[in-house]
Amino acid sequence: MRTLLNIIWLVLSGFWMAVGYVVAGVVCCVLIITIPFGLAAFRIANYALWPFGRQIEQRREAGAMSAIGNVIWIIFAGWWLALGHVVTGFLLCVTIIGIPLGVANFKMIPISLVPLGSRIVETG
């Protein structure tokens, strides 16, 4: 079932959201000092392509620099990526088949806003 949901997700939402994350990652990597943000964006782009069967886990050992970095991320990239998830989530929830995909979009909003201090793990 996860594979079927992932394939539908990839066609309807995942590819375009991943492109958004890759663009943000490339811009961050070009600006040398923001390379950690770029790496986080690439990691989330991978998650945005194939989210079912994985989940987001907060790293408790992340410190103050992670929090400061997340504030900077929200200001420059996180808000428009989160907005993309909100819009896509609402559009997918219009149909019965799209509801699980819309919910998955809504679940990705926290990591799109605060990617530092979190990791993506496989579910059993």
Task: Please tell me the total count of domains within the chain.
Answer: 1
Half-sphere CA count of 109, side-chain side, radius 13 A? 15
Please give the Cα distance from 88 to 86 (Å, whole number): 6
Please give the Cα distance from 50 to 75 (Å, whole number): 26
pLDDT of residue 87: 94
pLDDT digits (tens, 9 = 90+) for 71-96: 988 988 889 999 999 999 999 999 99
The domain containing residue 39 runs over which residues? Answer: 2-122
pTM over 0.75: yes
